[in-house]
Structure 1
Amino acid sequence: MSDFAEIIEVSPRDGIQNEQKILSSNTKIELIQRGIDAGLRRFEVTSFVNPKRVPQMADADEVAAALPRDTDARFIGLTLNARGFDRAVAAGLDEANFVVVASDTFNQRNQGVPTADSIAAFGQSIDAGRNKIDVGVTIAAAFGCPFEGEVPLDRLLEVVDGCMAHAPFELALADTIGVATPRDVTERVRAVRAAYPDVRLRLHLHNTRNTGIANAWAGLEAGASSLDASLGGVGGCPFAPRATGNIATEDLVYMLDRSGVRTNVSLDKAIAAAEWLEVQLEKQVPGMVMKAGGFPTGVAAS
């Protein structure tokens, strides 16, 4: 296990895509800037999807155009198909993250085609954009599907093989509906790592059933190098029934810092950013460390 873990901030995309309150483009840019100020250096900033299905992302092109480019931060756009990928390239983002769902039923509902068709579209996009943008792939529902239930390990590895045949910049496994346990994460990360020892391996974990933080630790121990998180723990997939909450960035930073794993993220600034986001959303958000604070420093006895 490395002594450094990269945190990828997804609040501007997955964090707010399920919210009733639609944030302005300027508010989204301020959210990203607050993350940069806290030390975060990779962001999923938007998704290039049909605005009728995800109205919170209707301003994807405007957000991409307004990003603070005078930093060393890297900006990622989520894409589900070739059209979305082309928009991410045109927007001048650093990375495109293409989504393929491990189950056919969910892929059909999410993207309108079977999984194999999404893998083929991913391959065509990565071939077209290889010299223009770094292209990664997220395998959604890698630990379970809301429509088919269990996703067997053999099925996951079949989808992983299909994606890895196109040599993505990065591979992510997503617990889209928050059903994974640490044992599941350990098993699947180790299996992918055994098959592809050199792949950049990322985890997108949800805390829907209060296992997200434990799963994150298990993933790092098993060989993942990057973890997605969202300030305040906001987020969830709009196409997965009862899907809630990402891991809270500040909760993850606290656990890793106290465990001796560097993140290069300021806990205090992450908490402040989560508190600010809560005000913008006009609702209480699920993050816990933002409410409890960091480790108490204590007061010396007189």
Structure 2
Amino acid sequence: MNDFPSSVEFHEEGPREGFQMEKTHYPLQQRKILIEMLAEAGLRQIQVGSFVSPKAVPTMSDTAELFAAIDKKASTRYTSLWLNEAGFRRAVATPGVTLDGKLLVYTTDEFCLKNNNCTVQELREKQKKWIALYDNAGVALEQAYIITAFGCNYEGDVAVSKVVDAVRFLEDLCAASKRPLPHIYLADTVGWANPESIKRRIAAVRDAVPAARIGTHLHDTRGLGAANVYAALQMGVDLFDSSVAGLGGCPFAKHANSHGAGNICTEDMVFMCHELGIETGIDLEKLVEAALYAERMIGRPLAGKLMHAGIPKRM
């Protein structure tokens, strides 16, 4: 039985997650134009870049300058990613950044070590300090990501019980700090999810914290991105991270971008929602124009399907 939401919200991550994977550092002016095209298409939240080590991810070294260059729309939130206190403080000091407090919880030590240079438990202890940072900066806690919620290329399958354990940790942490539980994102960081595992984990999280709003951060590494989104829609999920033209991936996850597959493709998933009668608030023609611009900018065919096939002309 389908329980489709009446509307869904897409958070665009292509300008950050897409370009962090590229060996070429594309001109700031081109990335500025892409971000402005995405906002003009109706994306209400766009992740512009990340405040991380320029040695580890050199393509994100000019994130502060990019924020300053964008002609911003009042209706769009322009967000960033950080992985530690230093990155957060850089974000706070950058004008134009929408500060959306987030927590990160991993399910496997090996991937946590690769991505955050610490174990799962060590990062959990750090999250307590992040709560204090947000309090001191007056930043609302909006998102909590459960990383590798479906599987890990280093440690293999991830049990549903590990996901529930991560949710319980978040619940206890927020209760101790007198914070409401943020939106909980199930992240398929390395492309292990399938439609049934999507449904099982969403059901388990709902059982554990019935009031939580659930989102997904999905990749199309093995070609199941659209099927996984459809399964999440069937479960009533109305919040999705996505990337224009299917850009993206994780630079610390081996094989996460095989054959050019990155994050789920924004315009393809918006098209599917529209075909299902689900509102998105997005102008699909303008979004396809942005995807085609991204492809010209990158200089090679990108993974998006709709941008190449075209929007069907209804009779």
| 1:183 equivalent in alignment to 2:196 | yes
- Counterparts in 2 of 1:77 and 1:122: CA distance versus 1, 3 Å: farther
CA distance in 1, matches of 2:285, 2:13: 19
- More displaced, 117-126 or 209-218? 117-126
Structure 1 runs, 4 residues or longer, greater than 6 Å off: none
| 1:112 equivalent in alignment to 2:112 | no
- Alignment check: 8 A CA contact 1:206 1:247 kept: yes
- Alignment check: 8 A CA contact 1:134 1:169 kept: no
Equivalent position amino acid for 2:228 in 1: N
1:159 maps to what in 2? 166
- Alignment check: 8 A CA contact 1:77 1:96 kept: no
| 1:2 equivalent in alignment to 2:2 | no
| 1:34 equivalent in alignment to 2:15 | no
- More displaced, 107-116 or 131-140? 131-140
2:140 counterpart (134, 143, 151): 134
| 1:265 equivalent in alignment to 2:282 | yes
1:144 counterpart (143, 151, 157): 151
Tell me the SS of whatever aligns to 1:3: coil
Equivalent position amino acid for 2:140 in 1: D
- More displaced, 147-156 or 18-27? 18-27
- Alignment check: 8 A CA contact 1:271 1:290 kept: yes
Tell me the SS of whatever aligns to 1:185: helix
1:236 counterpart (249, 264, 267): 249
Tell me the SS of whatever aligns to 2:277: coil
- Counterparts in 2 of 1:97 and 1:60: CA distance versus 1, 3 Å: farther
Tell me the SS of whatever aligns to 1:260: coil
1:170 CA drift (Å): 2.2
Normalised by the size of structure 1, how large is the TM-score?
0.93
| 1:121 equivalent in alignment to 2:134 | no
1:217 CA drift (Å): 1.5
CA distance in 2, matches of 1:251, 1:34: 17
Equivalent position amino acid for 1:80 in 2: L
1:194 CA drift (Å): 1.8
- More displaced, 282-291 or 195-204? 195-204
2:264 counterpart (226, 233, 247): 247
Tell me the SS of whatever aligns to 2:173: coil
- Alignment check: 8 A CA contact 1:76 1:96 kept: no
CA distance in 2, matches of 1:141, 1:127: 25
- Alignment check: 8 A CA contact 1:81 1:118 kept: no
- More displaced, 64-73 or 10-19? 64-73
1:274 maps to what in 2? 291
CA distance in 1, matches of 2:70, 2:121: 34
CA distance in 2, matches of 1:54, 1:296: 42
Normalised by the size of structure 2, how large is the TM-score?
0.89
CA-to-aligned-CA distance 1:144-164 (integer Å, 9 cap, x gap): 001000111111211222233
Equivalent position amino acid for 1:104 in 2: D
- Alignment check: 8 A CA contact 1:82 1:122 kept: no
CA distance in 1, matches of 2:102, 2:39: 20
CA distance in 2, matches of 1:75, 1:114: 30
1:122 CA drift (Å): 2.0
- Counterparts in 2 of 1:61 and 1:165: CA distance versus 1, 3 Å: farther
Alignment of 1:66-85 (within 5 A): 66-85=69-88
CA-to-aligned-CA distance 1:158-190 (integer Å, 9 cap, x gap): 122223333353221110111100000011011
CA distance in 1, matches of 2:91, 2:183: 16
| 1:285 equivalent in alignment to 2:302 | yes
CA distance in 1, matches of 2:69, 2:99: 14
1:70 CA drift (Å): 4.2
Tell me the SS of whatever aligns to 1:166: helix
Equivalent position amino acid for 1:128 in 2: L
CA distance in 2, matches of 1:119, 1:209: 30
- More displaced, 23-32 or 4-13? 23-32
Tell me the SS of whatever aligns to 1:285: coil
Equivalent position amino acid for 2:118 in 1: V
- Counterparts in 2 of 1:82 and 1:164: CA distance versus 1, 3 Å: farther
Tell me the SS of whatever aligns to 2:74: coil
- More displaced, 127-136 or 243-252? 127-136
CA distance in 2, matches of 1:291, 1:7: 21
1:204 maps to what in 2? 217
